[in-house]
Amino acid sequence: MNTNKNPLIWILVIGLLVVVVGAAVAVVLTVQKTSNSAMSAIQPVRDMTSDLGTQVANILHPTPTIIPDPVTIINQIRPLARLETIQYTIEKVITAEVGQTALRSLFGDRLLFVGHGYVIAGVDLSKIRTEDLVFDDGMLIVNLPEPEIFIAALDNNQSYVYDRDTGLLTHGDINLETAARQAAEEQIRKAALEDGILEKAKENAETFLGSLLESLVHSEVSFVWPE
């Protein structure tokens, strides 16, 4: 009788295992489906929160809109014959302030401006006349005009307001940054002059023009500068 019952018992055990495994799979699928449904329900809320954060950021830090005037006015066109012989790159820190009295915490305005600029100097060859070129005993004598600064300007891509402190009852002086930029340009120009940029422009001009003219006239070249 044991022999007859053993197959039946094994069939019942295998059947129970199949039922249990099937139930477990169904539970897992149900949980996964529920989790996916929950994530689907939460996703719109996340998207809305992200969009709201982006809108708030745009309000607090708006991107400026630049609209150039379509009308262009050309005031003057003139030919140039400038020989640029040297360039300085200079950085200056400028402090600009107004209303720095006892009430500065209410009405004062103070900014720190970092000005990064460049100065270019050389010789204006358009000032040379025919009589400024003289041959004397096989030597070419050239009377050159004084070297000068052609450009002293700020590099707007690298210049910036480092810090600004305004009083509680003021929005700041709208002309203060402009004044700081103008002062920075002037200080950059002054620094280049104090470092001898014109003398170096003169030396470089002699080197360049001397080599060029000697190759053209095949004679020695001498330069004379205004006293």
b/e burial code for range 68-81 (CB count within 10 A of at least 16 → b):
eeeeeeeeeeeeee
Binning the chain into helix, strand and coil, the percentages to the nearest 5 are 50, 25, 25
Q: Are strands 139-143 and 220-224 parallel, antiparallel or unpaired?
A: parallel
- pLDDT (tens digit per residue) in 30-86: 445 444 554 555 555 555 556 655 655 566 567 778 788 888 888 888 778 899 999
SS3 (DSSP) at 52: helix
Please determine, for residue 149, whether its predicted confidence score (pLDDT) is greater than 90. Answer: yes
**Which residue has 């199949």 as its token pair?**
18
Q: 60: phi > 0 → left, psi -120 to 50 → alpha, else beta; which?
A: alpha
Q: What is the pLDDT of residue 185?
A: 96
Query: What is the residue-averaged pLDDT of the chain?
Result: 80
- Give the Å distances, CA to CA, from 13 to 5, 17, 126, 131: 13, 6, 110, 122
Q: What are phi and psi of 207, to 5 degrees?
A: -65, -45
- pLDDT (tens digit per residue) in 22-41: 544 444 444 454 445 545 55
Q: Which amino acid is at 8?
A: L
Domain regions of the chain by residue span: 1-77, 82-224
pTM here is 0.68
Cα(222)–Cα(210) distance, integer angstroms: 8
Cα(112)–Cα(164) distance, integer angstroms: 6
Cα(225)–Cα(202) distance, integer angstroms: 9
Provide the terminal-to-terminal Cα distance of the chain, rounded to the nearest Å: 136
